A and B are shown apart, each in its own frame.
Chain A
Amino acid sequence: SQQGEEDPQALSIQEGENATMNCSYKTSINNLQWYRQNSGRGLVHLILIRSNEREKHSGRLRVTLDTSKKSSSLLITASRAADTASYFCATESNAGGTSYGKLTFGQGTILTVHP
């Protein structure tokens, strides 16, 4: 079963616009992370937010976390064509003892930014 569910599945925008992706999860967590994957490549970590944090920024990225709703959002501001990629949320659960750092991934959002 997927811990994270993301929406939208696909998002198409113009350069300069903002892109927002959402993630929902099911169990209690230690942290939630966002990753980026360019076509044919491995995943690259973007940002991590701990369960006791509500918002975090990194460059043009803004992540929010609402543990009461078990949801997160990733905002990319002033998007560029180079932001075109798949974006995944991932959660580290704190249910059931030691996590060993295991992450459960959502199905991802495909972002296309048109020049």
Chain B
Amino acid sequence: DAGITQSPRHKVTETGTPVTLRCHQTENHRYMYWYRQDPGHGLRLIHYSYGVKDTDKGEVSDGYSVSRSKTEDFLLTLESATSSQTSVYFCAIRRTGATGELFFGEGSRLTVL
């Protein structure tokens, strides 16, 4: 258990509404990541963070923003949700000093109607 908590775990929302997903870690690791998982696409990187207020875009960042105001929390925001953002979102951390493996949360399933 890498001490990663994602919230909410399930959410149904309507097109055009803002949505924020939260990833919380208890171990104060520097690197955090948001991925989305869709059938036929595997996992795709949305945004990542390499420190407080240090974030950058991944492969599929359009329509998403992130914030990291403290080490333990990495927030993913959909400013105006669209049906194409219906997905399962996973947060991951890379443990400091580790060889490179990621530790994943349990996922947040988002449905945009």
Q: Is the interface of B mostly helix, strand, loop or mixed?
A: strand
**How many residues of chain A have a CB within 8 Å of chain B?**
25
B41 CB within 8 Å of chain A: yes
A71 CB within 8 Å of chain B: no
Cβ contact within 8 Å between B101 and A102: no
A107 CB within 8 Å of chain B: yes
Cβ contact within 8 Å between A43 and B104: yes
Cβ contact within 8 Å between B42 and A88: yes
Cβ contact within 8 Å between A107 and B40: yes
A108 to B99, CA, bound (A): 22
Q: Which of A4, A33, A105 contacts B100 (CB 8 A)?
A: A33
A42: chain B residues at CB < 8 Å are 90, 104-107
Q: Interface-forming stretch among B14-22, B43-51, B74-82?
A: B43-51
Interface residue ranges, A against B (CB under 8 Å): 1-2, 4, 30-31, 33, 40-45, 48, 88, 90, 92, 100-108
Please give me the 9 A-B residue pairs with the lowest Cβ-Cβ distance, nearest first.
A42-B104, A45-B101, A105-B43, A107-B42, A101-B94, A105-B42, A43-B104, A42-B106, A101-B31
Known: A40-B107, A100-B50, A102-B48. 11 other contacts (CB 8 A): A2-B41, A31-B100, A41-B106, A42-B90, A43-B43, A45-B103, A48-B101, A88-B43, A100-B31, A103-B45, A104-B59
